[in-house]
Amino acid sequence: MVLLVVVGLVLVQPALATVITGRSSTVLEWYDTPDEDTVVPVYEYLHLKARDIGGQGINFYGYGRLADDFADEDDTVSSRLYSAYFDKSWKDRMFDLRVGRQFLSTTAGASVMDGARLKLNKLWGQPLKLTLFGGGDVKFSEAYKAGDYVLGGDVHYDFAFGTKAGISYIQKWDEKELGYELLGFDARHEFAKMLDTYGELQFDLLTESVSYALVGADYHRAKNWSLRAEYLYSLPVFSSTSIYSVFAVSEYEEVMLEYNHYLTYDMKAFVRLTYEMYVDFDDAQVLEAGVRKMMMRSDWGGYAIATYRDDEEGQDLYGIKLYGSYRVMPELRAGFGLHIDVLERRLDPDVDETTSSRIWTDAIYTLNKRTNVEAKLEYLESDLWDYQLRGRVRLNWTF
């Protein structure tokens, strides 16, 4: 409804002053629930941009969907407004104001907010950026309540020696009670255009503990290969107003090493080794290797990936992912995919291998420069569950 009102306001403005662009996607799906009921949801997605409304330098961005289940079987099929905000900049983008529903992302946390965001660039002539925001905290899984709001800010500075660093703060209130209060730090530095180092840290002020940390390095001096290493730490954070906040949570740690080798400009092979560390379970080692091909200036693309997870507790995972897409004719591209995972359980004397598979075919047919049709049909099967068919047809129109 909000998008329709905005469209009406935009259309009454002088035609030469306002530039309107967007994308409409009409989607029809069908699938079965665990109770073997067939769900037939239909969605209408609209992504709208209106630039320089009325010649005043005001821009509008909106994204949402209308939804309904033709079979009336799934209550989770619902309409949503993801974003709808006005944006205006002053003095060569040194001052930017955004008002409306918008997505916020900082190292301290993220939120969909109904409110205002003020961004100041190059403060005092320095590479210093300050962002302040506040408004209602949107929760799609729950009813909108007036006492739910979010406040915070973000400061970033670009140092002359190549380091970029920032600090952010966010707090979320649930029915006028403080649910989250988080502090975030992030930094990045490039050494001689061959080594990028980066780090992120999130600190929970209510529990006085580190809730997230990421440290990594990416070596890319050579033209045809790169090497990346990362350390990840994660501790679940629940709202202080939630019953889950009184339960003990377990931390998770991960060390990852990845090697990428570029075979051509649009094809690369990779090997990724991950060591997973748990508190309540045995640690595990995960090995992934494969090849990816992008459809940039060729008629085909796809990937082939193999996965092996070694778990001393008795759950090893063997997996394979295959997908290929080919341009049959200038207007038509068709593809076929296969994902298979084998979970080996050693809890009983007899080994039980449970194989899950997902097979699908998809296609994109271009009607003209602005319109195309996408279709996808999936077959899902498991040794523990019956098979399932899923389908989707999407009509895309760009304007």
- The tens digit of pLDDT for each residue in 189-244 reads 999 889 999 999 999 999 999 999 999 999 999 999 999 999 999 999 988 888 77
Q: Which has the closest alpha carbon to 131: 112, 157, 100, 149?
A: 157
Q: Which has the closest alpha carbon to 271: 292, 291, 293, 289?
A: 289
The predicted pLDDT at position 384 comes to 60
Q: Which has the closest alpha carbon to 101: 48, 51, 56?
A: 48
pTM: 0.85
For 54, the 3-state DSSP assignment is: coil
Structural domains in the chain (count): 1
Distance from C-alpha of 64 to C-alpha of 3, rounded to nearest angstrom: 8
Is the distance from CB of 215 to CB of 202 less than 8 angstroms?
A: no
What are 159's two structure tokens?
A: 């140092």
Provide the pairing of β-strand 110-120 with 128-138. Answer: antiparallel
For 360, the 3-state DSSP assignment is: strand
Please list the ranges in the chain whose pLDDT falls under 70.
Answer: 1-16, 34, 246, 314, 343-354, 383-385
- At position 25, the amino acid (one-letter code) is S
Distance of CA 337 to the CA centre of its chain: 22
Given the structure tokens 């290929």, which residue do they identify? 324
Roughly how many angstroms between the first and final C-alpha of the chain, as a whole number?
Answer: 20
Residue 183 is part of which domain span?
2-398
Distance from C-alpha of 229 to C-alpha of 240, rounded to nearest angstrom: 34
The predicted pLDDT at position 8 comes to 53
What are 143's two structure tokens?
A: 């009813």
The CATH number of the domain holding residue 128 is: 2.40.170.20
Run of H or E residues at 7: helix 2-11
The radius of gyration computed from the CA coordinates of the chain, to the nearest angstrom, equals: 25
Distance from C-alpha of 265 to C-alpha of 297, rounded to nearest angstrom: 10
Distance of CA 211 to the CA centre of its chain: 20
Given the structure tokens 């983008």, which residue do they identify? 93
